[in-house]
């Protein structure tokens, strides 16, 4: 029994170090992740329109799969946790963050096709730069319809 105690301790220590390492890597990954923040207001009709037209499909789009969306009330913007270029004065405002730094924004909701276009333009500024907008289709040389590439 005494011989197994050091072995058990060594295995437990190794397992603990692996967990700490995994947690550190996960924290580092999330710290530099690209995300889209929707700043909204409960009284914002354009926010509701965006939710009806885009919000219901966002997570199923290529953009949504690569760039997660977080919704924040206009009165609860964590300005100490993220660095934004200027105050948010209109809702909805969509902030594209790379880590904790604002890359760009879409102020207002100009309609579904314009939203996807502006989001693709913002994504060009990050490593998530492929344009795969559902509203932006073109025909390629084989006369097949496919996503527009930037």
Q: State the pLDDT at residue 71.
A: 97
CATH class label, 33-139: alpha beta
Residue with tokens 């333009």: 121
Q: What is the pTM of this model?
A: 0.65
**Residues 116-130 pLDDT 10s:** 999 999 999 886 544
Task: Give the Cβ contact number of residue 52 at 10 Å.
Answer: 10
Contact 108, 46 (CB under 8 A): yes
* Burial (0-12, 13-18, 19+ Cβ within 10 Å), 121: middle
**Residues 16-55 pLDDT 10s:** 444 444 444 443 344 458 999 999 999 999 999 999 999 9
* Burial (0-12, 13-18, 19+ Cβ within 10 Å), 28: exposed
- Beta-carbon-side half-sphere exposure of residue 69 (alpha carbons within 13 Å): 21
Q: List all residues 6 or more positions away from 84 whose beta carbon is below 8 Å from its beta carbon.
A: 77, 95, 102, 105
Q: What percent of the chain has pLDDT over 70?
A: 63
């Amino acid at each position: 029994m005494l011989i197994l105690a050091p072995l058990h301790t060594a295995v437990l220590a190794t397992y603990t170090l692996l967990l700490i390492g995994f947690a550190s890597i996960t924290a580092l990954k999330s710290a530099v992740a690209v995300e889209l923040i929707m700043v909204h207001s409960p009284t914002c009709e354009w926010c509701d329109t965006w939710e009806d037209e885009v919000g219901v499909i966002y997570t199923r789009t290529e953009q949504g799969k690569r760039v997660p969306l977080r919704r924040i009330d206009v009165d609860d913007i964590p300005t100490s946790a993220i660095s934004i270029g200027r105050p948010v004065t209109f809702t909805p405002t969509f902030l594209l963050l790379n880590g904790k730094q604002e890359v760009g924004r879409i102020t207002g909701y100009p309609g579904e096709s314009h939203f996807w276009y502006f989001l693709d333009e913002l994504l060009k500024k990050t490593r998530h730069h492929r344009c795969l907008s559902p509203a932006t289709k073109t025909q390629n040389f084989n006369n097949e319809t496919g996503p527009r590439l930037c």
